[in-house]
Amino acid sequence: MDRRHLLSQRYVSIRVRLQLAKKTRDLALFNLAIDSKLRGCDLVNLRVRDIAHGARITPRAIVMQQKTHRPVQFEITEQTRTAIIDWTQHAQLRSEDFLFPSRTNSAKHLSTRQYARIVKAWVT
């Protein structure tokens, strides 16, 4: 098997585990990380309005990267849009809210450190 196929199998395995565990936020976070290929700092800094128009998640988004100050465009798959809709409804997020808010401080987003811990848990 080639490396790409092995990665694909791992992605599917993580996705299935998150779905079975009903981890709505983590599923949305995982799917969006895969689709966008954004750095963690850019991913956790997203607001709902960055990827949505009203209640509709857009099929494509453009985000300015913090490190390079360059725009990056990415497609958001149907599977990811569904996961994000489920998450935003569950968390009752508004357009101006961070897509992945901190659980300890409602004014902030998930930290990159916490994101790293979440990714580590997915992999293990």
> Per residue in 4-63, pLDDT tens?
777 788 889 999 999 999 999 999 999 999 999 999 999 999 999 999 998 899 999 999
- 24-36 and 3-20 are packed helices; what angle lies between their axes, rounded to 10 degrees? 160
Q: What is the dihedral of CA 64, 117, 17, 123, to 10 degrees?
A: 90
Q: Which pTM does this prediction carry?
A: 0.90
